[in-house]
A and B are shown apart, each in its own frame.
Chain A
Amino acid sequence: MAGTPRTLNTSRSWGLAFDDLSRAWRQRQLWGHLGWQDIKQRYRRSVLGPLWITISMAVTAIALGILYAGLFGNPLEEQLPYILVGFIVWAFIGGCITEGSMVFISNAGLIKHLPAPVSVHVYRLIWRQMLFFAHNLVVYAVMLVIFPQPLSLGSLVAVPAFALLVVNGFWVALLVGIVSTRFRDLPPVMQSLVQLLFFMTPIVWIYEDLLNSTNETIASRARLAELNPLLHYLEIVRRPMLGQSFELRNWVVVLAITVAGWALTLVVLRNYRARVSYWV
């Protein structure tokens, strides 16, 4: 809506695709406000408000931590922090994928009635997920007091790791969002897929324990988990948060997927950005 004239025609232009992303970035007061609004809205009439995000994460992690510590025969001080951090990171990853599939469909009214870059809705979604993540970090902080982790200066690598997660969440939500708007079967597919991936990714089961298993077959099967890209996304953030060593392999995989994913998403954005308002 800036003063510069925009010529809109049928040609699929890179300029307009990047223009969409940068104009939406400049409207950060808008999506920043809407993201907060979404969270306040969800807990509007409850007494505890957004604190519920923190509480429900704490309850889930504690219950599952105790359950799986018992089932696997692991010490609680090892199992509980592992599950808790895994859950916090997963909540962000899963949220970007499942909500990404509805990002334009659920904003159909706004898209059809107020002119705005389509990526405004994606920024809003990612910002909301970041706010959820921040609420969950409170549980992590409390956990650090009860079960101290061997954190060091190197643990700060979790910050760029999370930034990388955000960058990836953005392209995933944008890509899945555009395709889902055209093909309405995708949202339920995504929902099932995320659930499936939750079990295939080492969140409740400890990957390294299985790798070091005395049973050869189990150890070799566990290695297959490396093929799951989400394992690497999870590990770059979880390892430093638990004070574990830096694994270059995870970063290489994540960076490679980041580049490929953004390239694909930009092509889709260039070709189908203008169709979103027709499809919703």
Chain B
Amino acid sequence: MVSIAVRDASVDFPIFDAQTRSLKKAMLGVVGGRIGPNASKVVVVEALRGITLDLEHGARVGLIGSNGAGKSTLLRLLSGIYEPTGGTATVEGRVAPVFDLGVGMDPEISGYENILIRGLFLGMSRKQMDARVEDIAEFTELGDYLRLPLRTYSTGMRVRLALGVVTSIDPEILLLDEGIGAVDAAFLQKARGRLTDLVDRAGLLVFASHSDELLRELCDTGIWLEHGQVKMHGPLDEVLEEYKKRKPGPKRPPQGGRPR
């Protein structure tokens, strides 16, 4: 059974500047008196607040929101990279994320090696990856480039590689960040088929994007995030329509508080 259940979850980031991250400062804080009323306070950014979500098998959810609304943080919460600083998050099923493309790939080693390492990170065994590597090579159309170090690849080529890996390993929960827009239209057409297949078979897709077109292709429901909170959750078309009508407001500054 594949499901995501998030209950009143929040994610707070402590922002350490050079001073607060230093051991000296912490030691002096213990030994000496307090330097000022705010000396021991660390700025905390509330990236997500009071998120409650229930996603079941078959859900294809698009995350909508302006830059800094918390889309990427929510994806990382769902993938288990960030554990909630408040509330709970229960994720059942094998997760495969495609976030910032290129990170998590070693630029000095070949495309083939990167396919293997990415697969191993996502819980595959070496044998399983060896069996899939030809299929991935064919899908990505990178040909002999796969023998070259990754640093020779363009952004679009890296996206192809990352998509090739996640779509081949049959994940149950697929988390995609906006970066996949970097591939050309022809490849996207091909990838779309594989992604929709995957979601039909596997179960759950959460996709963050600014492109209405891409969202409509892949998703049926939408979640509108604003200032780290769920503003609206419903059928994609309705959410997109409401989102367009919003008034662009000023950005909320980070909250002050204690780190946890």
List residues of A whose CB falls within 8 A of some B CB. Answer: 1-10, 27, 29-30, 33-34, 37, 41, 44, 109-116, 182-186, 189, 274, 277-279
A279 and B90 CA atoms in complex are apart in Å by 22
Docked-complex contact B123 and A2, CB < 8 angstroms = yes
Given contacts A3-B93, A27-B120, contact A10 B260 (CB under 8 A): yes
Q: Which residue of A lies closest to B99 (CB)?
A: A113
List residues of B whose CB falls within 8 A of some A CB. Answer: 3, 13-14, 16, 18, 21-24, 26, 76, 79-95, 97, 99-100, 103-104, 106, 108-109, 113, 116-118, 120-123, 125-126, 260
A31–chain B nearest beta-carbon distance, Å: 9
Docked-complex contact A278 and B21, CB < 8 angstroms = no
A275–chain B nearest beta-carbon distance, Å: 8
Q: Which residue of A lies closest to B7 (CB)?
A: A9
Pairs of residues from A and B, 5 with the lowest C-beta to C-beta distance, nearest first? A5-B92, A1-B123, A30-B120, A9-B88, A274-B83
Q: Which residue of B lies closest to A184 (CB)?
A: B21
Given contacts A7-B88, A8-B90, A27-B123, contact A109 B113 (CB under 8 A): no
Docked-complex contact A6 and B104, CB < 8 angstroms = no
Docked-complex contact A112 and B81, CB < 8 angstroms = yes
Docked-complex contact A34 and B117, CB < 8 angstroms = yes
Total A-B contacts with CB atoms under 8 angstroms apart: 111
A201 and B86 CA atoms in complex are apart in Å by 47
Docked-complex contact B88 and A8, CB < 8 angstroms = yes
Docked-complex contact B21 and A115, CB < 8 angstroms = no
Q: Which residue of A lies closest to B127 (CB)?
A: A29
Name the A residues within 8 Å of B260 (CB-CB). Answer: 10
A-B pairs with beta carbons under 8 Å apart, 22 shown: A1-B122, A3-B92, A4-B92, A5-B3, A5-B91, A6-B80, A6-B90, A7-B88, A10-B83, A10-B85, A29-B120, A37-B113, A41-B108, A44-B108, A112-B103, A114-B81, A114-B104, A114-B118, A183-B23, A183-B26, A277-B81, A277-B83
Docked-complex contact A37 and B14, CB < 8 angstroms = no
